[in-house]
Structure 1
Amino acid sequence: MTSASLRSLVAGNGLSIGLELPLDNDWSPVGDTTRRAAGRPQGVPDLTQHATLARLADRLGFRALWARDVPLYDPAFGDAAQVFEVFSYLGYLAGVTERILLGTAAVVLPLREPVLTLKSAATVDHLSNGRLVLGVASGDRPVEYPIFGRDFTTRGDVFREQVAMLRDWGQTHLPAGIELLPRPQQPVPLLVAGLAQQSPDWIGAQMDGCLAYPGTPPDHARRAAQWRAVAGPDKPYMSFIHLDLSEDAHAPLERHRFGGRMGRHALVAELEALREVGVQHVGLHLRRNQRPLAETLEEVAAFVLPAFHSEKPRMQVLPA
């Protein structure tokens, strides 16, 4: 592994748990009603409590906050992610949190000016005292590329070029005597979302970890095996769950797209199953969660995190 932040991300009892931003439940029935009353378009979250909830997640011991790179709101797609520009937002979160890692899931490299991407990433890394984890991707929304004056068809070539710049921090691309400041305090780990228009062998050799699409344990068993076949055993495999946490601790898992509704016992069982097939970090996505998010975070922290973030031998922590 390339950095303390990546080691911290997967440290513990085989699997760690983070949160995917935004911290809002605007996709739940109650959240959708509130959104409509406030006049917000579909997929645009309520961010009035975002700093309070980020501080709470940090205090409770969640391992990472993950921000997506969605520069434009497309009503046809209906998802504005966390609205704020990803590096600016992580810089802000660096100032209101202390320990939680700050990840991108994932920065669309071909849309961005590469030197400014380097400077933005190094800035967040410094402001957070080395807590940045940089997920990268080639992008999958063709409508964005002409708006940014970029070519969608060559995004794979551009992705490779920018990864090379991230690895040497632009040294081979800058004129003699010109320096890009600040430099990262340590190598910034690069996690890939998807294949980014590359071959599996290239991805396995060049990337430090994998951010996989949500799926069931059998899905991840297959994908994790494919990842490790090209990346080796030491590069982490991570994914996400769209969680709707029931008030009934014993409620069984009812799967929906990308996750499910379940009580905390079923959540622990699902996370155990993911750990057993090779998933090392899971980000919880709570936009479909029907309960207040602060209440949900408190319950997960009290009854779920101890089963996975402890360095002790594996055991389930399942109070009634």
Structure 2
Amino acid sequence: MREEQSRVTASRRSRQLATVNGQQDYAQNTVNRVFANDALSLGLTLPLLRAGTIVADFDEQLALARLADERGFRALWVRDVPLNSADYPDPVGHLDPWVLLGPLATHTQRIALASGAIVLTLRHPLHIAKAALSVNMLSHGRFILGLGSGDRPPEYAAFGRESDERRELYRSHWDTLAAALGKPSRVIPERAPEGAPTFQLLPDSADSVPLLAVGSGGQSVDWIARHSLGWMTYHREPDAQRARYSMWRAAVERAAPTAFRAFGVAMRLDLSGDPHEPAQPVTLGYRAGRHALISILDDMRAGGTHHVTFNLAAERPVVEVIEELASEVLPRFHLAR
């Protein structure tokens, strides 16, 4: 009886170890599929809405997320918009990112899930660490934690913070978060009275959660290059973006010369139904037919961009746009990895 129990226990441990190792490999492969040297991958930003729509049907969003996963997009990005106001230009009611990421983790299989970006300065870093670990576990290592600082002083005031504290808050919260999500995990308490216990972050994960700077967070590019997987930024006109990338590469050479550091762009896209329509600049992106879009993306890849996520803004049905991108654009950039 004891021998049988020992065999069962050994078999269970072997399966658990295989699962852990598999998750480690899968997590690293997920990051590589999104950010790889000399390659460009494409993702989508949720919610995926037709132009002029400001109320999202989130059952539909989950269905669109599954479609994006099935069609080979490399990442789904979710935003963190704690509060809306009349002077904030985004009228969409966004779900809390952690609430949305839970079902996304269980409704998709292969696509990376990324936050673009959790407002690091207005959330406690240990709460962020717990949530990020949870999403990473539910998604089997497919989560990339993008972190920003927010840029609206009135929102800081609503949370009892001073906006001029954001640079220091970003750095200190990043350090606490990175320690909690690292291997081994270290929980750094804000206060440790005499006799306080040593805390742990559980459940234990086989892999660490990659941290990505979205925007600058008030930090220098050298700081970002030292601490982050890469730098995700908004679309800019080509000359400005090339200058920004050159600044980034110089910072990487100074701060992390032996490491790969990614560069990504969030782009608004109004994909025309006419595949031959020339590109026209719009706020934070382009209106273009697919041939012009492919040309733009070719230039971005040649200029060093590793990932582009599309914020769709077309008047066409969203499913139609996703299907055209998947069949006509993705094969030009997504190698088998």
Which residue of the partner structure matches residue 186 of structure 2?
Answer: 171
The counterpart of 1:234, out of the listed 260, 268, 280, is 260
Change (3 A) 1:22 1:61: same
Aligned partner of residue 73 in structure 1, secondary structure: coil
- Cα contact 1:64–1:100 (8 A) shared by 2: yes
CA displacement at 1:189 relative to structure 2 = 1.4
Q: Give me the CA root mean square deviation.
A: 2.0
- Give the superposition deviation at 1:119: 0.2
CA distance in 1, matches of 2:209, 2:262: 15
Please tell me whether residue 243 in structure 1 is matched to residue 286 in structure 2.
no
Distance 1:282 1:184 in 2: 29
Q: Aligned to 1:285, what secondary structure does the other structure show? A: strand
Deviation at 1:11, TM superposition (A): 4.2
Identical-pair percentage: 39
CA contact (8 A) 1:13 1:311 kept: no
Q: How big is the shift at 1:18?
A: 0.2
State the 1:44 CA deviation: 4.4
Select between 270-279 and 73-82 the one with higher mean Cα deviation: 73-82
Structure 1: unaligned runs, 5 residues or longer: 36-42, 313-320
CA contact 1:19–1:284 (8 Å) conserved in 2: yes
- Structure 2: tracts of 5 or more residues without a match: 1-26, 190-195, 254-258
CA displacement, residues 199-232 of structure 1 (integer Å, 9 cap, x when unaligned): 2221221111000111233222111111111124
**Which structure carries more helix by proportion?**
2
TM-score (norm 1): 0.87
Length-normalised TM-score, structure 2: 0.82
- When residues 4 and 151 of structure 1 are mapped into structure 2, their CA distance, relative to the original with a 3 A threshold, is farther
Aligned equivalent of 2:207: 186
CA deviation map 1:79-113 (0-9, x unaligned): 15561111121111001111110001111111002
Contact 1:254 1:262 in 2 (8 A): yes
User: In the TM superposition, what are the counterparts of 1:88-237 in structure 2 within 5 Å?
Assistant: 88-169=99-180, 171-174=186-189, 176-232=197-253, 234-237=260-263
Secondary structure at the counterpart of residue 49 of structure 1 = helix
| Residues 228-257 of structure 1: per-residue CA shift (max 9 Å, x gap) | 111247101000221111111111111112
Match runs of 1:31-50 below 5 Å: 32=52, 35=53, 43-50=54-61
Q: Deviations over 1:11-41 (max 9, x none)?
A: 497100000111112xx2xxx3xx5xxxxxx
What is the aligned partner in structure 1 of residue 333 from structure 2? Answer: 308
Larger radius of gyration: 2
DSSP-derived class of the 2:116 partner: strand
